[in-house]
Structure 1
Amino acid sequence: MPNLTSIYYFILFIVVELLYFKVADRYNIIDKPNHRSSHTRITIRGGGIIFPLAILAYAILNGFSNSYFVIGLLAISIISFLDDVLTLNNKARLGVHLGSVMLLFFQWNLFSLSWYWILIALIFVIATINAYNFMDGINGITGGYSLLTIGTLYYINEKIVSFTSGELLLIVALSLLVFNLFNFRAKAKCFAGDVGSVSIAFIVVFFIGELILASQNLSYILLLLVYGIDTAFTVLFRKIRGENIFEAHRNHFYQYLSNQLKFSHIFVSCLYIAVQLLINFLLIKFADDPLLASIGLLVSCVVVYLLLRFKIEGYRKLLTPTTN
């Protein structure tokens, strides 16, 4: 994409984001801190609306390629934005989510494959969307982690295997840069909201799915390994303690580092991004032997993660059943 075009998109996204801030302020679309929050000040919610709008802008200017993906993204973004504003019924939200995932599968032509691949894809997509939503709790983590993922995908697309439009990846990266200008800071101007965390999860899943289908290499799932490990083991620990895993909480490791140990949001976000960056580097470096590299990375990261959590938080806090 020509540099001048990139500048135009960047300026457009900044203008759109600033206009949204005015709308959000006018209609009181804000996030108020509560006992589950990792924040202490009222902040505009839904700044992540820039992600689906960026895809929409690209689609309008490029003949609506990947139409199933775009329609699914718009549907899941709209329902998530409405949930940010109104708090919708779970069944309505889940129904739209499922419909959007089915559209994504049509985009991937997945229904031509065996049923077990569809099941694996369904688990991966739903798990990733939920993980992104759970992990969106401190400044910088969603925008920074996603920018790293999109940047890595762009490198893979250019240097290893071509699987999608490089221009589209750059458009998403620009929208993330704009969002980070207002979120990746000590005092955030806005939060992503459900519309941001869900939509960027859907976008990232689309690209990773395209990459896996083009390369026939499932190890690229590890591009989301840090989020996956923290989400999976946090859910497991809560289940062991007898807690309702569907209730809102702040029991993730990143939340413990931020809330109990009082590390800054930016430090914790950079820590998570740095670990995933190392994983991405190793994943690419050992791409010639993806199975061995994937197993080694997965096992090593799980072991280090568990050692750190048990050392820092303690066995009792992580495993002792909650008393009512």
Structure 2
Amino acid sequence: MGTSLVTLFVFVSAAVGCAALTWALMPLLARYALARPNARSSHKIPTPQGAGIAVIVATLVVTALALGLTAPTLLALLPLFAATVVIAIVGAVDDIRPIPVLPRFALQALCVGAVVLTLPFDEQIIPTLPLWLERTALLIGGLWFVNLVNFMDGLDWMTAAEGVPVTAALAVFGLLGALTQSPMLIAAALGGALLGFAPFNRPGAAKVFLGDVGSLPIGLLLGWCLLQLALQGHVTAALLLPLYYLADSTLTLLRRMLRREPFWLAHRSHFYQRATDNGFSVREVTRLVFLTNLALALLAGLSIALKSIAADGALLAVGAAVVAALLMRFARRKA
């Protein structure tokens, strides 16, 4: 079977598997993991959470089966898979009975650290940097990325609107030779699983949420795939793909810190959340985010194709302008 067919098979299998497992889990989640509305919520009625279990199980199982014929490759992924399972368990516990901030953060740091510290010593994004300095930066950046994916999972379809375009782009880049097999297949499986979850999370009729059990490990897997893209020399593309999430979450954090707000507590001040307060429907917000991510994926593809430092600078500027336009639109009342 050719690489393209294997990738398509992984995508479809993960979508079907996630949909079936989500459907099977819903009665259990309704009983033990009910998310009740509060002042920071975007939903109005108690809704089961925890369907991220289905997304992660489908992603890991389908990827493992696809790589089953190449045992050394699968063994190399064991630290990532183990960290994904552990951080999912942390999220599951937090969904049912909230864990205090510091222990939760420490457990997340252990999972991200396990992935970063087991990277091969000869793999670096910037070879001129001391290895310890780059790995420290990756640990901090990875921990932030895991949390920002969690922070941005505050509307129906929001994680799918981000994750599906990004993972699809990563899979295409892999097929074109810009990304190695393992992250390509993980991206395809994760994108398929998110698509399988989406029908259960439709805006206005959501039957279930991802929960922290889903958003945290999704952040870890997606961050690892982007890191692999950067390690292949495509740093600009790795920055462009998640640029909307990076901008919304980071600017919101900085704004809250400048206002001396307790930034570590849950809130409703992200740009996408303010958009719903400003008259945008959830479907409008997620559609605009999805279209923005398609534009960013195109810019990332151009960066890989052109292989030019000058072009990279221009593409980053265009991507930043596209994201800034969306953030400013979200921050204003809808006309």
**TM-score, L = length of structure 2:** 0.84
Which residue identity is paired with 1:50? A
Q: Is this contact kept in 2: 1:253–1:309, CA < 8 A?
A: yes
**Alignment partner of 1:76 is 2:87:** yes
> How far apart are the structure 2 equivalents of 1:199 and 1:304?
28
Alignment partner of 2:31 out of 8, 15, 26: 26
**Alignment partner of 1:248 is 2:271:** no
Q: Is this contact kept in 2: 1:219–1:290, CA < 8 A?
A: no
Q: Is this contact kept in 2: 1:45–1:192, CA < 8 A?
A: yes
Q: 1:4 to 1:19 in 2, by over 3 A?
A: same
Q: Is this contact kept in 1: 2:149–2:219, CA < 8 A?
A: yes
Residue 18 of structure 2 aligns with which residue? 13
Residue 320 of structure 1 aligns with which residue? none
Alignment of 1:1-324 (within 5 A): 1=5, 9-27=14-32, 29-58=33-62, 61=65, 62=68, 64-65=74-75, 66-109=77-120, 114-165=131-182, 166-215=184-233, 217-258=235-276, 260-287=277-304, 288-289=306-307, 291-302=309-320, 313=331
> How far apart are the structure 1 equivalents of 2:280 and 2:161?
17
Q: Is this contact kept in 2: 1:58–1:171, CA < 8 A?
A: yes
> How far apart are the structure 1 equivalents of 2:253 and 2:10?
43
Which residues of structure 2 form unaligned runs of 5+?
Answer: 125-130
Which moves more between the two structures, 107-116 or 131-140? Answer: 107-116
Which residues of structure 1 form unaligned runs of 5+?
Answer: 315-324
Which residue identity is paired with 2:238? Y
**Is the partner of 2:206 in helix, strand or coil?**
coil
Which residue identity is paired with 1:182? F
> How far apart are the structure 1 equivalents of 2:123 and 2:296?
32
> How far apart are the structure 2 equivalents of 1:305 and 1:7?
30
CA offset at residue 112 of structure 1?
A: 7.0
Q: Is this contact kept in 2: 1:279–1:297, CA < 8 A?
A: no
> How far apart are the structure 1 equivalents of 2:280 and 2:114?
41
Which residue identity is paired with 1:142? T
CA offset at residue 56 of structure 1?
A: 3.3
Q: Is this contact kept in 2: 1:222–1:294, CA < 8 A?
A: no
Which residue identity is paired with 1:265? V
**Sequence identity, in percent?**
25
Q: Is this contact kept in 2: 1:143–1:183, CA < 8 A?
A: no
CA offset at residue 214 of structure 1?
A: 2.2
CA offset at residue 46 of structure 1?
A: 1.3
Superposed CA RMSD in Å reads: 2.6
1:39-64 deviation line (CA, Å, top 9, x unaligned)? 21211111122232123323653254
Which residue identity is paired with 2:102? K
Which moves more between the two structures, 230-239 or 196-205? Answer: 230-239
How many residue pairs match? The answer is 312
**TM-score, L = length of structure 1:** 0.86
Which moves more between the two structures, 146-155 or 118-127? Answer: 118-127
CA offset at residue 92 of structure 1?
A: 2.8
1:239-274 deviation line (CA, Å, top 9, x unaligned)? 22232211221111111111x223111110110121
CA offset at residue 5 of structure 1?
A: 7.0
Q: Is this contact kept in 2: 1:68–1:107, CA < 8 A?
A: yes
Q: 1:297 to 1:147 in 2, by over 3 A?
A: same
